[in-house]
Amino acid sequence: MKWWSGLIGLAPFALSAGLALTFALAYKALNRRMSRRSPLAGRKVGKLPGQELVERVSDHETDLLLAVMLMYMALPLMFLGWVGTRFRLDTVVWGSVETIFLLGALALFGYGLFGYVRAFRARERARDGLLAERVTGMQLNRLVAQGCTVMHDLPGEGFNIDHVVIAPRGVYAVETKSFRKPKQTGAGDAYRVVFDGALLRFPDFAEKNALEQARRQAQWLAKVLREALGRDVPVIPALALPGWLIEQGDDTWRNAAVKVFSPMGGGANFMAKDIQAIDATTRNLIRDALAVRYPDIPA
């Protein structure tokens, strides 16, 4: 028996791992070449407090998963190696059973590849959303110096409101969206979106669902505050599009049901204008009513 015969049992594992790595790298390279780009790509974004620790926790969780996988695969891998030392290719007769196992292996590999593509796309969307919320949140936090209270990720009923700004002129329920820019459009036009009060017109598509979502969340927040305080509180829906240049007329800005803005460059300062519709006592009551919606820190 030749020395390499002991490795035959590991050959399917090595082949499967090699194919998986090849397909994953090829898809990642193709996606980078063909996909749209984030409007925030290339910009410098500051870090949030504790972000380094969050990333470190994520790294440790990955290490934990790899350690568990190693423990899980240790015996099967060694068993395959042991079987390989007793396996002889010249005794194999290909038949229906072998065909069924091969088809099953191909089906499992294909299902895994489908899951990888789906998870990869979901991760990219989540990354874009995280970056957009970070940028918007950091810009909104500057309003605290102008007398506003800013809350992030307010838990709702099966959803969350990205940001809530409690200002003298009203309460703003801010939804943040990250829409990728098309690859083929010129550098200036690619970042331009036109808002007519009812529809967002991007360079190569139109969008209104985000506006409806912002409006629904503001209505829910107004209902919660009415039940908590026993009176109506003005809640204004707002939609933040970080990285986009928003074109809208003065009439649209004044009359649109949803305030659409880019938080960059002081774009959120309109929330802190000195127009008092809510007194300081009521603002404190609003803050306290919303603070109780956050979950307790686990022991």
Encode pLDDT of 205-259 as tens digits: 889 999 999 999 999 999 999 999 999 999 999 999 998 999 999 999 989 999 9
Residues 284, 143: Cα–Cα separation, whole Å: 16
Q: Look at residue 90 and tell me whether its pLDDT is greater than 80.
A: no
Q: Look at residue 186 and tell me whether its pLDDT is greater than 70.
A: no
Encode pLDDT of 114-142 as tens digits: 999 999 889 888 888 888 898 999 999 99
Strand pairing class (200-201; 206-207): antiparallel
Say what the pLDDT of residue 195 is: 94
Residues 40, 203: Cα–Cα separation, whole Å: 16
Say what the pLDDT of residue 42 is: 61
Kindly report the pTM of this predicted structure. 0.77
Q: Where do the structural domains in the chain lie, given as residue ranges?
A: 3-134, 148-291
241 and 247 Cβ atoms separated by less than 8 Å:
no
Say what the pLDDT of residue 216 is: 96
262 and 132 Cβ atoms separated by less than 8 Å:
no
Dmax (CA) of the chain: 89
Q: Look at residue 61 and tell me whether its pLDDT is greater than 70.
A: yes
